[in-house]
Structure 1
Amino acid sequence: MAAAEKKLYDAATKGDLATLQQLLRQDPHLLDAVSFPYSRNLLHIAITHGQVRIAEEVLKMNPRLARILDSQKLSPLHIAVEEGRLEMVKRLLVVAPETCWWRDGHDMNPVHVAAMDGNVEILEELLQQDLFPAMERLRRGQTVLHLCVKHRQLRALKVLVQKLGELVCARDDDGETLLHLAVRCNQLEMVKYLVQITKLDKEATNLMGKTALDILKESPKDPTTYSDMRRILNSLSDHSTLLGILPKMTDITMVVVVLIATMAFQAAVSPPGGVWQDDTPSHRAGQAVMASTHPKMYKHFVNANTTAFVSSLVTIMLITTGLPLEQFFFLAVATTAMWLSLTSLGVGYGASLIMTTPKEEQSLGYIVAAVVSVFLSFLLLLLLYLSVNGLRSSWRRRSADRSF
């Protein structure tokens, strides 16, 4: 190393700004011409040694150095992130924001490096600049969230899940979710956190057809974490069986309940038998004919129609307001409301049928009994199937437990 370069290096590492400025006044081209080990320039050296004043001076004189990579494909921003230099990261993001996307020799951009190191403050600064680099995949299709799990960075994972919620469902090239990886890496705290995320499919299988619980059974037993992790994953399996009792709330469900609400509203303004067209001492124009001719039956019709309308609105509200329908309570409420609206629609149909075909009249009690019987029969068959299926799954789990 030449004498001038040695003096420049010493000034940069020791923070001697006066000597640095003097050397560069003597030779203005020295800043561009000098190269240190690993093909690093003076900005790389200053950042590595935490000399912020030197780095800022270098950037003022030659901002192009912020875009120069060393022999390991590390940009100054990579080094600043790796060394935890928050102020330097902020300065570099102003000068060269595009380096957020650049990959180093390990195929990682600065966001990946910050997540791996668990530097939450720097990670939040980078995400504030641009969220998209955090969505870039690593080797074998892993995401920055997989990287957090692998390196035990729970705080960084929480920040990223908050910012990039949908990415939590991503799988790597082996089809493994974050929960698969957390179990494989024996990360109990990660597992506790991940099972609380409603978007994450806890029963997902990888390309080998294995769930997180299957991976745990095949892993060496760690006495400090195995029992707790087994209990958590078993409860997930039981919860999934419980959720199997109820249907999934889909777009089709939304269409059905909207249709029921529309039908109930239409029946309210256009009841069976029509409305009176004139005013008389016994009725007014616009009132339902059925209310005068069959008052008791009309009362049953109104009750059933109102129940169908209100329960449909409840289901619509639960689906559209973003409540966690993956949780059993909210899903049970939504499903009960949907079934209630369907049952009430059947009762309302029966009342309308009696009103419009009096010669073939059946009692409302018969209609209600028929609707309820069909409903309960379906529910009983469903519960019987799920009970048998649940007992079979429990027997399989107990058999698997005895084999370990």
Structure 2
Amino acid sequence: MEGEAVARKLYNAVSEGDVTTLVQLLEEDPYLVHGVLFPCSRNLLHIAAMHGQASIAEQVLNHNPRLAHMSDSQKSSPLHIAAAEGHVEIASKLLAAAPGMCWWRDEQGMNPVHVAAMNGHVEILELLLLESSMPAMERLHRGQTVLHLCVKHAQLRVLKVLAMKMGELVCAKDDDGETLLHLAVRCNQLETILYLVEYKDVGLETRNGMGKTALQILDESHPRRVNYTQMKKLLTDPLLIGFEFSEAIPDMSSTMIVVAVLIATMAFQSAISPAGGVWNEDDAKSSRKAGEAVMASTHPNTYKTIMNANQIAFVFSIMAMFLFTIKKHQAVHPYFFIFMSFLTIGLALIAILITLSESIYGITPDEHVKFKRSNILRILIMVLVIAVVVPVCVVGVVSWYESWFNKKRRQLYRGAHAFLRRRTDPAAPAGA
């Protein structure tokens, strides 16, 4: 009973950081630092590392540095526990006392580098890599690398740090032929996929042991899976990274609202101030009244066309403004917004073009043949086509060229890689 009481008192002193009590107990019985074990066969350093007591760890190491080399019932060393808990200062002291423990594996086959990476402790990871980067090259179960472990546990920050230091592991495969990209798709890690696709030399067409690419693995999942559409876009066309069409159009809302307001203003102004002006006084002979449009009497069909087009332009511009207003409250689906915004603005613009062409026709003398309605309308439609179709074609050609160029670059890289491999390893197959 007395021994249990001392052990409990010692445990409390170590876990709470009571250096005075620890020193007092060790002065009374120096053997305590060597022989006392706690549950799971953990020694004083395990307990200090678990609770983040750096001063206690320093005192224990001064009395018995060999404890840093001892493992518990799960084969975890004090450095494993410090790496798992994220205690940088304790890890530094343990690393100085037992640098070889960077290689020690627990019962799950993981060394402290793997443990730190799995738990997202970048500071400890950099500390361990400063001592030696070789433990990070050690493979895990079924040949997985430490980068596979980062993807599996969604540790993107750690993945980026390791990729900068050990870029050769980014394209590594496990025993099943799975790359980081395959695993990221299986684990539904959208941000990781984005990073890997942006990373140079990551092969989208790399196949695993079952002969499947990352895209084929994604296609086997349910289309309603979270992030399915975004991942599909990244794996299908990497050139569209960072470009979301449904998000790009709403960003133009302020500009398109201005256009809609201008169209509505033009339509309103054309209605109250028609081309050709209005009659200044009543005419009893022809039943004309002051304020009526002159064109309504001289060109009734043209005037009717102008008024109808004006109303269409005004109504669709109002609809566009209403659509942009409710979009701010996320009341409509993005793709419905895209379709309706183009439709309303496009119809309003066409109506304004018709108004302009008919107005020019109505006020132009008949002897000026070059201003006939058909010629004017043809010119306006040509201008509209040039303003809309040409930019779309240019963007399409540029996108196709970039896609073709990147494809050729990947092919050249694979060819150069295979050539270098054959030079260094003559036994390698030609397509390797």
Could you state the TM-score of these two structures normalised by the residue count of structure 1? 0.60
Does the Cα contact within 8 Å between 2:147 and 2:170 map onto a contact in 1? yes
1:22 positional shift? 1.2
Paired residues in the alignment total: 255
Does the Cα contact within 8 Å between 1:150 and 1:185 map onto a contact in 2? yes
Describe the superposition over 1:186-212 as per-residue Cα deviations: whole angstroms up to 9, x where unpaired: 111011000011122221001111001
DSSP-derived class of the 2:237 partner: helix
Among 11, 32, 45, the alignment partner of 2:13 is: 11
Describe the superposition over 1:8-52 as per-residue Cα deviations: whole angstroms up to 9, x where unpaired: 112112211111111111111121111111111111112212221
1:252 positional shift? 11
1:284 counterpart residue number = none
Among 24, 42, 45, the alignment partner of 1:43 is: 45
Describe the superposition over 1:242-271 as per-residue Cα deviations: whole angstroms up to 9, x where unpaired: 55557625569999xxxxxxxxxxxxxxxx
1:134 counterpart residue number = 136
Matched AA of 2:51:
H
Q: Is 1:110 equivalent to 2:112 in the alignment?
A: yes
CA distance in 1, matches of 2:151, 2:72: 29
DSSP-derived class of the 2:236 partner: helix
Give the 3 Å change call, closer, same or farther, for CA 156–245 of structure 1 in structure 2.
Answer: closer
Does the Cα contact within 8 Å between 1:202 and 1:236 map onto a contact in 2? no
Matched AA of 2:39:
P
Among 226, 230, 248, the alignment partner of 2:412 is: 248
Matched AA of 1:160:
L
CA distance in 2, matches of 1:127, 1:93: 11
Describe the superposition over 1:352-382 as per-residue Cα deviations: whole angstroms up to 9, x where unpaired: xxxxxxxxxxxxxxxxxxxxxxxxxxxxxxx
1:241 positional shift? 6.2
CA distance in 2, matches of 1:166, 1:175: 16
CA distance in 1, matches of 2:9, 2:50: 17
1:3 positional shift? 2.2
Describe the superposition over 1:319-338 as per-residue Cα deviations: whole angstroms up to 9, x where unpaired: xxxxxxxxxxxxxxxxxxxx
Describe the superposition over 1:338-358 as per-residue Cα deviations: whole angstroms up to 9, x where unpaired: xxxxxxxxxxxxxxxxxxxxx
2:147 counterpart residue number = 145
Alignment gaps of 5+ in structure 1: 256-404
Give the 3 Å change call, closer, same or farther, for CA 226–143 of structure 1 in structure 2.
Answer: same
Identity of aligned residues (%): 58
Alignment gaps of 5+ in structure 2: 240-399, 421-432
CA distance in 2, matches of 1:150, 1:96: 29
CA distance in 2, matches of 1:180, 1:51: 41
DSSP-derived class of the 1:231 partner: helix
2:196 counterpart residue number = 194
Q: Is 1:122 equivalent to 2:286 in the alignment?
A: no
Describe the superposition over 1:195-250 as per-residue Cα deviations: whole angstroms up to 9, x where unpaired: 01112222100111100100000013345401111111111499776555576255
Matched AA of 1:231:
K
CA distance in 2, matches of 1:235, 1:140: 31
Give the 3 Å change call, closer, same or farther, for CA 245–148 of structure 1 in structure 2.
Answer: closer
Does the Cα contact within 8 Å between 1:115 and 1:123 map onto a contact in 2? yes
Matched AA of 2:187:
C
1:289 counterpart residue number = none
CA distance in 2, matches of 1:135, 1:229: 29
CA distance in 2, matches of 1:160, 1:222: 33
2:233 counterpart residue number = 231
CA distance in 2, matches of 1:252, 1:55: 49
Does the Cα contact within 8 Å between 1:116 and 1:147 map onto a contact in 2? yes
1:5 positional shift? 1.6
Matched AA of 1:235:
D
Give the 3 Å change call, closer, same or farther, for CA 19–235 of structure 1 in structure 2.
Answer: same
DSSP-derived class of the 1:248 partner: helix
1:105 positional shift? 1.4
1:162 counterpart residue number = 164
Give the 3 Å change call, closer, same or farther, for CA 252–168 of structure 1 in structure 2.
Answer: closer
Kindly report which structure 2 residues correspond to 1:225-374, keeping only aligned pairs within 5 A, or say none.
225-236=227-238, 243-244=406-407, 248=412
Q: Is 1:25 equivalent to 2:189 in the alignment?
A: no
1:84 counterpart residue number = 86
CA distance in 1, matches of 2:404, 2:212: 17
Among 174, 183, 187, the alignment partner of 2:176 is: 174
Q: Is 1:100 equivalent to 2:102 in the alignment?
A: yes
CA distance in 2, matches of 1:218, 1:252: 31
Give the 3 Å change call, closer, same or farther, for CA 198–124 of structure 1 in structure 2.
Answer: same
DSSP-derived class of the 1:169 partner: coil
Does the Cα contact within 8 Å between 2:186 and 2:217 map onto a contact in 1? yes
Kindly report which structure 2 residues correspond to 1:46-65, keeping only aligned pairs within 5 A, or say none.
46-65=48-67
Describe the superposition over 1:25-84 as per-residue Cα deviations: whole angstroms up to 9, x where unpaired: 111112111111111111111221222111110001100000000001010000111111
1:109 positional shift? 0.6
Kindly report which structure 2 residues correspond to 1:202-241, keeping only aligned pairs within 5 A, or say none.
202-236=204-238
What is the root-mean-square deviation of aligned Cα atoms in Å? 2.3
1:184 counterpart residue number = 186
